Amino acid sequence: MGLGLSTVLRIVQYHNGSIEIDESKLLGGALFKITLFKHPKTISIVGVNNMRKDFLALCLEECGHQVSFVETDKLDDLHKNTSEIIFVDLRSNLEQRLKIIEMVSKDIPNANLIAIGEADQGTIDAAVRAGCEEYLMTPYSKETIQNRTEMVIDSLF
C-alpha cells in the first residue's frame, strides 16, 4: 500500500466506509472498491427479540450506522444515549409499544421514531398517531433491510 492509498484508507475509515480489493479483475493490477455511507446514524432498537438482534445489527452496521439495543424494561437508557433514530418493534404487546412510542416522542423530541415489524394497517396507523414518522416492515434479506432503512433515512433527513 503506497502513501496515497493509506491516506485514502484513513479517510474512508473516518467516514465508516470500507475498501475492498479485487486483484483477480486486472492483470498486474488491482481493482479497489470504496464504499462511503451518506447518512451514518446512531440507531437504538427497542424491544427486538434475541433472534433478530444480531441480524439487524449486522445489516445496519454494514451501512455505517452505530446500533444499540434497549430492552422495554430499561427505557431510561434511551435518555442516556444520543440516538438520532429509534426503531420500535411492534410485533408483541402492542399497547406497551404504543405507550413507548408516545413517551419517546414527548421525552426525546429530536429522535426520529420508526416502527418496525409485521403489522396490519390499523396497527401502523396507531403507531403513526402515537408519534412514529415511518413504518419499516421487517424484511427477510440483508439487502432489503439496508435499502429500506436508507430510503427511510433519506426521507427523514
Q: What is the pLDDT of residue 129?
A: 92
pLDDT at site 126: 92
In a 3-state reduction of DSSP, which class is residue 45?
Answer: strand
Residue 1 pLDDT grade (very low, low, confident, very high; cuts 50, 70, 90): very low
Distances (CA, A) of 146 to 38, 72, 76, 140: 13, 24, 28, 11
- Find cell 473516518 and name the residue: 14
For the segment 49-80, what is each residue's pLDDT rounded down to a tens digit? 766 778 888 888 888 888 888 887 787 777 77
Q: What is the pTM of this model?
A: 0.68
- Domains of the chain from N-terminus onward: 3-35 (no CATH), 42-156 (3.40.50.2300)
**Neighbour-count burial of 63, counting CB atoms closer than 10 A to its CB (0-12 exposed, 13-18 middle, 19+ buried):** buried
